[in-house]
Chain A
Amino acid sequence: MQTKSLLTIRDLRTYFYTDKKEVKAVDGVDFQIKRGETVALVGESGSGKSVTAMSILRLIPKPPGEIISGEINFDGEDILKLKEDEMNEIRGNKISMIFQEPMTSLNPVYTIGDQIMEPLRYHWKLDKGSARKRTVELLQMVGFARAESMLNEYPHRLSGGMRQRVMIAMAMACNPNLLIADEPSTALDVTIQAQILELMRDIRDKFNTSILLITHDLGVVAEMADRVIVMYAGKIVEEGIVEDIFENPLHPYTKGLLASIPSLEAETDILYSIKGTIPNAADLPKGCRFAPRCEYVMERCLHEEPKMREETIGHYSRCFLHKEEGVNIWQKNY
């Protein structure tokens, strides 16, 4: 599996400073995304998954936030070292993003056509006519039958599902290499969610786009992802291919998450539940951050922080409860 990596993140730390407190929202995150791969970033609210995504696009508001260290290598260059105008060349062009709530990310006073044409005019320097032509193609691609007449519609006239299609069309306008989708289907109803996920799969297969999918819905993860990264309190706690994560979860947090979802197939009376709540990122526990909620907690977990460790090939877990004969200590080969 030596496919070339598109995005490689090393030791990313994004902290926020509020009321003289240091909030370690993302605290030492490493992962990579290969070309054409869909990686799901899973975790509860406050685990740092959205901050990771915003850091990749360098959209962390400063103050209060700051990327204090790390390296985000995208297509051969460290984007944390780029100047702001160089970064503008990447946003919406090579890396684009879809957000959870499409209404708040579409401008209510511009037509759909104007908004999709904007990145085409800016990045590809297209003239009005060709930009318009491409926009119609894009709208057809995301499933609008009357694409031509959509150009003059305003966002408020569209339903949630249609707005999300427009967002996808806009995000795909410049054929990005990486699409970051932050809870793209969470605000939508199930039947509409199914339409949107289907569309995202089609696009990925057609254009070989890499997708970083951020979600807390494990059903969506199982359906879309090739690889899964589980985050907890600012750190990655488990990483592996989707089958490994669902069939053989290693970290007690991942196990707990999977056990707590009610299933459509099985009949259970009492659901498994992880006790307690995610710790406040400004006041993290010592040792393993999951220790206060962990069923398997040991003395060692309370004062020592476990490292990521490759348990089987490509399946990593940050827990002292590993197989003794496990592969070497945390060392990823890029």
Chain B
Amino acid sequence: MAEKLLEVNQVKKYFTIQSGFLQRTIGFNKAVDNVSFYINRGETFGIVGESGCGKSTTGKMITRLYEPTEGQILFEGNDISHLSQKELRKFRREIQMVFQDPYASLNPRKRIGILLEEPYKIHNIYSEKERRGKVEELLEIVGLNADHYDRYPHEFSGGQRQRIGIARALTLRPKLIVADEPVSALDVSIQSQILNLMKKLQKDFHLTYIFISHDLSVVKHISDRIGVMYLGKMVEIAEKKDLYQDPLHPYTQSLLSAVPVPNPKVKKERIILQGDVPSAVNPPKGCVFHTRCPKVMAQCKQEVPTLQEYKPKHYVACHLYS
């Protein structure tokens, strides 16, 4: 039995919408609404979904850049969901994040070496002399050169910057890395370099990944298990093979059918969804997907489906399966 590294229990994140002179709260943006899942040590858990589905917000709650409105996040059995900044410091070493746009997340005025040494300084590890050596070692681990230490972020290409982003996440040897669209801004040839690097590092450093992406082929390549999100809800969770061979939720089915295949001979049966994703401020009653679902039933408009284990290790939140 695999050991659970992280458990997310019925987590919600509501952003308040304020208006007027007194900034009264007039509504909530239910970015993440009652999401639960767990991650085993050493695996890669992919989260897929379209823009606005709450996948990044979920990632930011796990790294505690956001505090959940409700619910629990357990890391190695400790509830980190409502810790203060001071109490969190210990956990920050264990959970790190890689961002989509590595340029926006690197301070343009600081040399790469200084940027990478920062976590050591904050956590007071290694003497000043040792730090440079450690950073140079790290640069080589992610496929850069030790002499990149003195360069500035603008001197690097997109792919190299993402390597720096990864190096920075690795400095404190974390157990869990949350990667939010780490390859979306990169060209295909560079994307494959970064994906290979992440896989290699996972083996070498026994890392657990949460890999957030909208690209279903990339998520499939890197993940062991995958969760599909739609409008703040987790609609399906399954092992990679099950999800791609036998998607249960109508949303997952249409999502998979919509991906263009790089093979001109394949003509896909496509389920084209009508309309757009509704707003999270005023989500539909009942199942949030019912407004676009090709298999909608009367029940879907009233009752919210819960995530249930339909087949071993294959969870789905849909009335078709209850």
Q: Could you tell me which A residues sit within 8 Å of B by CB distance? A: 44-45, 159-162, 189-195, 197-198, 216-223, 225, 242-243, 246-247, 256-258, 260-265, 268-275, 277-278
Contacts of B93 in A (CB 8 A): none
Q: Do A246 and B264 have beta carbons less than 8 Å apart? A: yes
A273 to B195, CA, bound (A): 10
A197 to B257, CA, bound (A): 13
Closest-by-CB residue of B relative to A243 is B264
A185 to B29, CA, bound (A): 27
Contacts of B255 in A (CB 8 A): 190-191
Residues facing A in B258-272 (CB within 8 A) are: 258-266, 270, 272
Q: Interface SS of chain B: helix, strand, loop or mixed?
A: helix
Q: Do A220 and B260 have beta carbons less than 8 Å apart? A: yes
Closest CB pairs A-B (n = 6): A219-B260, A262-B221, A189-B50, A260-B192, A194-B258, A44-B187
Partner of B216, one of A190, A195, A273: A190
Q: Do B272 and A195 have beta carbons less than 8 Å apart? A: yes
Chain B nearest CB: distance from A197 CB in Å? 7
A193 to B50, CA, bound (A): 11
Interface 0/1 of B193-225, CB less than 8 Å to A: 101100100000000000000101110111000
B contact residues, total (Cβ < 8 Å):
41
Q: Do A264 and B189 have beta carbons less than 8 Å apart? A: no
Q: Do B260 and A189 have beta carbons less than 8 Å apart? A: no
Q: Do A263 and B50 have beta carbons less than 8 Å apart? A: no
Q: Do A222 and B195 have beta carbons less than 8 Å apart? A: no
Residues facing A in B234-251 (CB within 8 A) are: 244
Q: Do A260 and B188 have beta carbons less than 8 Å apart? A: yes
Q: Could you tell me which B residues sit within 8 Å of A by CB distance? A: 50-51, 157, 159-160, 187-193, 195-196, 199, 214, 216-218, 220-222, 244, 254-266, 270, 272-273, 276-277
Contacts of A275 in B (CB 8 A): 193
Q: Do B187 and A264 have beta carbons less than 8 Å apart? A: no
Q: Do B262 and A218 have beta carbons less than 8 Å apart? A: yes
Q: Do A194 and B221 have beta carbons less than 8 Å apart? A: no
A271 to B261, CA, bound (A): 17
Contacts of A218 in B (CB 8 A): 188, 262
Contacts of B256 in A (CB 8 A): 264
Contacts of A273 in B (CB 8 A): 189-190, 192-193, 196
